[in-house]
Amino acid sequence: MITIRRANERGVADFDWLNSKHSFSFGHYYDAKHMGFGPLRVINEDRVIPGEGFPTHSHRDMEIISYVLEGALEHKDSIGTGSVIRPGDVQRMTAGTGISHSEYNHSGSDPVHFLQIWIIPAARGLKPGYEQRNFPSDERNGRLRLIASPDGSDGSVTVHQDVRLYSTLLDGGQSVEHGLAAGRIAWVQVARGEVTLNGQRLGTGDGAALDGESSIVLDDAHSAEVLVFDMSGNNV
């Protein structure tokens, strides 16, 4: 079964400095039918104007992934990490027993556009941690590149949950296929462009939950950047 979550159905937070689209309930947006999917709790598509951002705030017991689409995101946290995240970079922050951080648009002239992803960890009370890796476009062009996994395989960042996250760039006649083992569920998020998922057309900002499917086929793409979450259906 495939259940599509259209971009225009998402929750919206619109402030002077931030425009955010919420695939699942978040902040002041609450929808009992969209509280997450498996261990995937948050997918926010954020746009922050130059020089603005999220001041220091705290999290605990969550795996947080930042995925930049355009611009540069500056990160500082209470465990001493300071970095700038750009397109192709993937940042994983383990909140664990508690961490404080800030996120700002690094540029004074250009907006930053990124996805913030929250994954519920397999265990509570983990030691806070941070990891950042770069995945060049040529590694993702026409193929599914593993960017996050529970064991850090293939150079991916490590998430403390049975989730394997892939990124792909597809256009024209390019296509990819990914098999789903029994008991696995998946979420497909179109970061930009258009693509066909198992015969169903998706556009920018659309997401799709897959349950009981044996494979994912992405084809007939137009300038598409897509994230694929392969997850255990029994871990939350």
In angstroms, the CA 133 to CA 111 distance is 22
pLDDT at 13 over 60: yes
In angstroms, the CA 3 to CA 172 distance is 25
Residue-wise pLDDT for 129-140, tens only, equals 889 999 999 999
For each of the domains in the chain, give its residue range(s) and CATH number, in order of start. 2-232 (2.60.120.10)
Q: By the 8 A CB rule, do 158 and 182 touch?
A: no
Residue-wise pLDDT for 70-98, tens only, equals 999 987 777 777 789 999 999 998 999 98
pLDDT at 55 over 90: no
User: Please, which residues have CB within 8 angstroms of residue 33's CB and are 6 or more apart in sequence?
Assistant: none
Q: Would you state the pLDDT for residue 103? A: 83
Q: Would you state the pLDDT for residue 100? A: 84
Q: Would you state the pLDDT for residue 118? A: 97
- Max CA-CA distance within the chain? 48
